[in-house]
Chain A
Amino acid sequence: MRSSILIASYLWKDTWKRWFEQPGSPLSRLFVTGLLALVATVILVAFHLLERSIRERLERFGLNTIVVRETVNSDSRDLTVFTDAPDRLAALSDHGQKLRVRQLSVRGTTEWQDGVIVLTYGPESFDHFIEFLSPETPGILFSEELPPDALVRVNVSRHATLAVTRRPQGWLRPLITEDMLLVPQGTWPDEERLGFIETTIFQRNPDAIPVAHLVSAMTTFYAMDRDRRSPPQVQSALPMIRELEKLKERQVQWRNLLAAILGLAVSLVYGSIAVLEFRQNLFVTALLRSFGAPRQFLFWRHLIENALLANLAAISAVALMAALHTAIFGTLGFAKPVLDFSGGNPYASAEVLSILIWVNVGALLSSIPILIGLRTPVGATLN
C-alpha cells in the first residue's frame, strides 16, 4: 500500500513535470475533446429540446383531439351570419364531442399586443365558455402573456370591446398558439361577412374508433360535398407522433455517429500522444518495473491520465453549454418554455451523460498501445 502511494506520488510528479515542460500535450488533448464534446452536446441537447417541444405541442393538442379547419370565403354559399354552417361531422356524434368556432379574417390589437386572433362562437358552443365569462363583458382574451382576470380593451378593425384575460385551457388549448380573442357570433357582422375559417374541435371518446379512422371518415365526409372548392385541413396528433418517432430514430443515428466520432477521435489523438510520451518516458517506466513495480500499476497511470484529461474536457464542455444554454438555443430559435430547465435538465440526461462514456471508452482504447508497450522486457530498455 505504502509503495503504491510512493509510486503514484512519483508518477504524478513525473506527469506534472511533463505537462509543465510540454503544455501542448495536455492542452491539445483538452482542446480536441472539449471541442468534440461541445459539438456533441449541442446536437444532443438540440434533439432533446426538439423532442420536448413536440411533446409539449402534443400534450397541448391532446391525443384524442382532431381539429378540422374549413375556409369559408365571402362568396361561399356556406357564409351564414348568425347561424351555423351545416355540420358535416354530425355522423360522428357517437364517437366524441365537438366544439365549433369561427376564426375571422381580421386581427385585433391591444395596448400590448398586435395580431390577436379573433374567434366567434355560436349559441351551441356557449356552454364550453361559460366558465371563462366575466359579468362585465362577453369578450374573453386567452393569453399566456397578460395577467389573468384583467379587463383589456381590444380593437378589431374600427370596433373596440372589453375582454377579460384568461389562461388558455380546456377545449381551446389545441388552437392556441398565440393570443386569441373570443366573442359571441354576430358581435361584428361586417367582419364575419368577409369570410372566416370554420373550425371544429373534435374530442374523441376514449373507447371510440381509432383517431386514424376518424380522420379518414372526416376527410371522406368533406369529399362527398361536390361543390367544395378546396378540401378542409384535418389536424390530429398522428403527424406529431410520427414526427416524434422519426426524431427519435434520427436521434439514435446521431448518437451512434457521435459516439463513433468522439470515441475514435479521442482514442486516436490520445493514443498517439500516449505512445510518444510512453517512448519518452520508457526509462522511468522500465526502472520502476525493475524494482518490481506491477505492470498494471504503470498501465493505470496512463489510463488515469488520459481519462482525467478526457473527463475534464468533456465535463467542462457540457458545463459551458449548460451555462450558455438559453443564449445559444434561444438564438437557434427554441421557444422560451422549452428552454426552461423545469421540465427536465437536458444536461443531466442519459444522452449527454453518454458523452462521458464515449470519451472514457476513447481514453481506454488509447491506452491499449501502452499495455502492449509494457510487455517489452525491462532488459531491452535499461542498460
Chain B
Amino acid sequence: MSVPLPIRPSPTVVNGGQGTMTCHEVSFRYFRQQPWVIERFSYSFAPGITLIKGASGCGKSTLLRLMAGYLVPAMGAIVTPSGRQPADPEFQRRDLGYVFQQLNLLPLASVTRNLTLAASLAGLPPETTAMRSAKWLRLLGIEEFASRLPQSLSGGQQQRAAISRALVKEPQVLLLDEPTSGLDDLNTRVIIRALQEYVNGARICVISSHDARLESLANEILDFNRFLPVERHLEALV
C-alpha cells in the first residue's frame, strides 16, 4: 500500500507520539563542506512496517543509521518510542534491532553465539534467549546451521542469520537496510514471513530498500527520492 509522501516540514512533534518513532527537523551531512544528505526531515514512524524506497545515495541508509543512533544528526531530534535518544546504549541494547546492508555477523562466533551475544546485551535471561533463538532460527530456516561460523554460510543464510540476530531481542524498533538485496524469491519470502510474524501490528519496523518485492509487505511507503534527488542526473544518462 502506497501512502502520500510526508510533508516537509511536518507538524512539530518533539516528544514523539505514543509508540511511535519520531524524527523532527532532522538534518545530516557527513562533512561540513558537503551538501545535506538529509535536510529538515520530519516524520513519525508508527507501529507496522514502513518501507523507505529511493535511488542509491538518496539518504535511506543514513536515515536508518540516524534512527539507530549510529550517526548523530547535525540538527533536529529523533525520539524513540520509549522516549530515549537513539544514541542511548540502553535503547540500542534493549529496544533496537538493526540489520546492516553488509550482513555484519561476528566472524568468530557461530550463528547461535551471535544471537546469544545480542540477547545477553539486551538483558534477556538464558532460557528466554534459547527459546527465542530456536523460534527465529526455525522461522528463518537456519536452525540446522546454528552452530556454524558465518563464513561457512551462503549469502542468503548469512542474511537470515543477521535478521534472526536482530529479532531474537524482539525489539520495539527494527531497522533493516536492504535486507533482501541480492536474494532470490524464496529467501525473500522467508524473510517477509518472519518480519510479519515479528511486527504483528505492534512494533515498528523500518525497511530501507529499493526491492519492489517488499512493497506488498509495507503498511506505509516513504519515497525518499522526493527529498534528495541527488542523482537525478543519472536519468539523463539513460
Most buried by A among B93, B116, B121, B126: B121
Contacts of B120 in A (CB 8 A): 2-3, 6
- Interface-facing stretch out of A126-134, A219-227, A291-299: A291-299
- B30, B100, B117: the one contacting A382 at CB < 8 Å is B100
Within the complex, the shortest CB–CB distance from B90 to chain A, in Å, comes to 7
The stretch among A7-15, A24-32, A242-250, A350-358 that forms the contact with chain B is A7-15
Interface residues of B in 89-137 (CB under 8 A from A): 89-94, 96, 98, 100-102, 104, 106-109, 113, 116-118, 120-123, 126
Indicate if A283 sits at the interface (CB-CB under 8 A): yes
Given contacts A292-B121, A294-B89, A382-B100, contact A287 B106 (CB under 8 A): yes
Looking at B43-51, B68-76, B191-199, B215-223, the stretch in contact with chain A turns out to be: B68-76
Closest to B61 in A: A383
* Interface check A148, CB cutoff 8 A: no
What is the interface of chain B, defined by CB distance below 8 A to chain A? 30, 61-62, 65-66, 68, 70-72, 89-94, 96, 98, 100-102, 104, 106-109, 113, 116-118, 120-123, 126, 177
Q: Is the CB of B126 within 8 A of A2?
A: yes
**What is the CA–CA distance of A356 and B73 in the complex, to the nearest angstrom?**
44
Interface residues of A in 266-292 (CB under 8 A from B): 283-284, 287-288, 290-292
B121 and A283: CB pair below 8 A?
A: no
| Segment at the interface with B among A156-164, A184-192, A373-381 | A373-381
Whole-angstrom distance between the alpha carbons of A14 and B108 in the complex? 7
Given A7-B117, A292-B93, A293-B121, check contact A287 B104 (CB 8 Å). yes
Q: Is the CB of A284 within 8 A of B70?
A: no
**Closest residue on chain B to residue A3 by CB atoms:** B120
Closest to A14 in B: B108
Known contacts A2-B126, A382-B70; A291 and B104 CB within 8 A of each other: no
- B98 close to A292 (CB less than 8 A): no
B126/A292 in contact, CB under 8 A: no
List residues of chain A with CB within 8 A of the CB of B123. Answer: 3
In the complex, what distance in Å separates the CA atom of A294 from the CA atom of B109?
A: 19
A17 beta carbon closer than 8 Å to chain B: yes
Interface residues of A (CB under 8 A from B): 2-3, 6-7, 10, 13-14, 17, 283-284, 287-288, 290-294, 377-380, 382-383
Taken together as a complex, chains A and B put the C-alpha atoms of A290 and B91 apart, in Å, by: 11
Tell me, in angstroms, the Cα distance from A383 to B56 when the chains sit together: 13
A377: chain B residues within 8 A (beta carbon):
65, 70-72
Residues of B within 8 A of A292 (CB): 89-94, 96, 121-122
Contacts of A283 in B (CB 8 A): 104
B116, A6: Cβ atoms under 8 Å?
yes
Nearest-CB residue, chain A, relative to B108: A13
Q: 11 A-B contacts, Cβ less than 8 Å apart?
A: A3-B121, A7-B121, A10-B106, A284-B106, A290-B70, A290-B98, A290-B104, A292-B122, A379-B68, A382-B100, A382-B104
Residues of A within 8 A of B94 (CB): 292
Measured between alpha carbons, how far is A377 from B30 in the docked complex, in Å?
11
10 cross-chain pairs, A with B, having the tightest CB-CB distances, nearest first: A292-B93, A379-B70, A379-B65, A292-B92, A379-B71, A3-B120, A378-B70, A3-B121, A292-B89, A2-B120
Among B70, B72, B89, B116: residue with most chain A CB under 10 A: B70
Contact of A3 among B71, B109, B117 (CB under 8 A): B117
Q: Given the complex of chains A and B, what is the CA–CA distance between A283 and B126 in angstroms? A: 27
CA distance A95 to B88 in the complex (A): 82
Beyond the given pairs A10-B109, A290-B104, 11 more chain A to chain B contacts, judged by CB atoms under 8 angstroms and listed by A's residue number, are: A2-B120, A287-B106, A290-B68, A290-B92, A291-B93, A292-B121, A378-B68, A379-B65, A382-B100, A383-B61, A383-B177
B118 CB contacts on chain A under 8 angstroms: 291
CB <8 Å contact, A383 and B93? no
Whether the Cβ atoms of A383 and B68 lie closer than 8 Å is no
Contacts of B93 in A (CB 8 A): 291-292
- C-alpha spacing A292/B30, complex, angstroms: 22
List the A residue with the shortest CB-CB distance to B165: A291
Known: A287-B104, A287-B106, A377-B72. A10 touches B65 (CB 8 A): no
- Give the complex CA separation of A181 and B107 in angstroms: 81
Contacting residues, chain B, for A287 (C-beta < 8 A): 104, 106
Contact B66 A379 (CB under 8 A): yes
CB pair B107–A284 under 8 Å, yes or no, is yes
Chain A positions within 8 Å of B107 at CB level: 284
The one of B70, B101, B108 that contacts A17, using a Cβ cutoff of 8 Å: B108
Task: Determine how close the nearest CB of chain B comes to the CB of A146; give it in whole angstroms.
Answer: 69
Closest to A7 in B: B117
A382 touches B108 (CB 8 A): no
Residues in B with CB closer than 8 Å to A288 are: 106
Closest Cβ of chain B: how far from A23's Cβ, in Å? 18
Contact A10 B108 (CB under 8 A): yes
Given the contacts A13-B108, A383-B101, A383-B102, A291 and B117 also touching, CB distance less than 8 Å: yes
CA A294 – CA B88 in complex, angstroms?
10
Once the chains bind, are B117 and A6 in contact (CB under 8 Å)? yes
| Bound Cα distance from A13 to B117, whole angstroms | 14
Residue of A nearest to B92 (CB): A292
Residues of chain A lying within 8 A (CB to CB) of residue B96: 292
> Which chain A residue has the least Cβ–Cβ distance from B88?
A292
Q: Roughly how many angstroms separate A293 CA and B117 CA in the complex, as a whole number? A: 10
Q: How far is the CB of B50 from chain A (nearest CB, A)?
A: 19
**A185 to nearest B CB, angstroms?**
89
Residues of A within 8 A of B121 (CB): 3, 7, 291-293
Chain B residue at minimal CB-CB distance from A10? B109
